[in-house]
Amino acid sequence: MTASKTILVTGADGFIGSHLVEDLVRAGHKVRAFVLYNSLGSWGWLDRAAADVKGQFEVIAGDVRDPFMVHEAVKGCSHVAHLAALIAIPYSYVAPSSYVETNITGTLNVMQAARAHGTERVVQTSTSEVYGTAQSVPITEEHPLVGQSPYAASKIGADQMALSYFRSFATPVAVIRPFNTYGPRQSARAVIPSIITQLAAGKRRIELGALSPTRDFCFVADTARGFRAMLDSDKALGEVVNVGTGHEISIGETAHLIAELMGVELEIVTDEQRLRPEASEVERLCASNTKAANLIGWQPEFGGRDGLRRGLQETIEWFSDPANLAAYKHERYNI
C-alpha cells in the first residue's frame, strides 16, 4: 500500500478498531473510520484518539447491517478492514439473532459493496473462538471449526461468507484470525480488563469465572500490525491467517501475574454469572503463527512470558489512570 490509498475501517470505534485507525494513520495512510451511529454523536474510543492522530481521519457513522450505508462507506476506498461485529460471548447466549444480523449479514453487506466497487483488498476479522477447545496444539489454520457459542457460530458464518466471495466472484478477501487480543481500551467484559479494573479500584477480593481455561493473549499493538500486514500482502488473498503468540497461560495464572505487576495480594472468588455453560466453555487456545511468519512476515513483538508481562504493564498503566478507569463500571458485571 502507498500513502495515497484510502482504507475503510469498520468497527473503528471499538477496541481493536481504534488502535488500527491510529496505526494506519501513523503509517501514512488515509483512513475512513466507520463507527456505529448513535444519538450522542459518539465515535467510541476514537473520541479519545491520540493527539498525533486526532483530526487525521474521516469519520462516517452508520450500521453495517444497512447495505445502503455500507455501500456508500466503501465507495472510494481501495482497502477495507472489516472489524465491525458483536463480540461479547455472554450476550450471544441471550441475543443470538443480533449476532447473525450484525456479524453474518454485516459481513455480507461489506463483501457485496466491495464487489460492486472493485475494492482492491478486504480483510475479514475472525476470532480464535471459531476453533472451540483445541483438539491439537498449537492450533493451525487447518484445525476444525467448532461453534461452542452463538458468537463463535456467527463468526464461522461470517468468515465463510467472506471466503465464498473470494471463491465465487474473485473478491480479494483475506481472513485474519486474532487470538485473545488485550490492551488499553478493551471492554471490561474481557478477563484482563476485568481483573485490572477491580484491582485498580481497590478491590482485593475479585470476582472471575472459570480459572482453568488457557488463552493465547496477543497485545493489541501486535494485532494492529497483523492487520496492516494482511492489508499489504497479496499472498494472503483467499487465506486464513492466525495472529497469536503461541504462548498459553491459564486465567487463574494471568490474574496472579497481574496482581504481581500491580504489587498487590488478591483473592479470587467464583462469580456464577461469569461462567459459560459447561459445553460452551473453550478450555484451551494456543496459536500456531508459522503461517503468519511465512505468508505475511508477521511475528509478535510482545511474545512469550516476557512479552506478556510488558503488554500487561502497558495495559495496567492505562487502566490505572483515573480518567480511563472512570469509564468502566468495575463494581458490576455487564454481559
Task: Dump the DSSP string for 198-230.
Answer: HHHTT-SEEEES-SS-EE--EEHHHHHHHHHHH
Fold match between 6-181+218-243 and 182-215+247-281+303-325? no
How much is the pLDDT for 4? 61
Closest CA to 49 of 103, 9, 6: 9
DSSP 3-state assignment of 150?
helix
The answer to whether 232 and 31 are in contact (CB under 8 A) is no
pTM of the predicted model as reported, rounded to 2 decimal places: 0.96
Point out which residues pair with 268 in neighbouring strands.
Answer: 206
Alpha-carbon gap, residue 288 to 258, rounded angstroms: 25
Q: What is the distance between the alpha carbons of residues 112 and 106, in angstroms, rounded to a whole number?
A: 10
Query: pLDDT digits over 37-96, tens only?
Result: 999 999 999 999 999 999 999 999 999 999 999 999 999 999 999 999 999 999 999 999
182-215+247-281+303-325: which CATH topology? UDP-galactose 4-epimerase; domain 1 (3.90.25)
Amino acid at 266: L
- In this prediction, what percent of the chain has a pLDDT beyond 90? 92
In a 13 Å sphere around the CA of 328, the CA atoms on its Cβ side amount to 27
Mean pLDDT (whole number) for 178-204: 95
**Averaged over 259-278, what is the pLDDT?**
92
Cell of 68: 445502503
What number does CATH give the domain 6-181+218-243? 3.40.50.720
Please state the domain extents for the chain. 6-181+218-243, 182-215+247-281+303-325
pLDDT above 90 (res 134): yes
* Cell reading at 38: 448513535
Task: Tell me whether residue 322 is exposed, middle or buried, using C-beta atoms within 10 angstroms of its C-beta: 0 to 12, 13 to 18, 19 or more.
Answer: exposed
Length of the chain: 335
pLDDT score of 127: 98
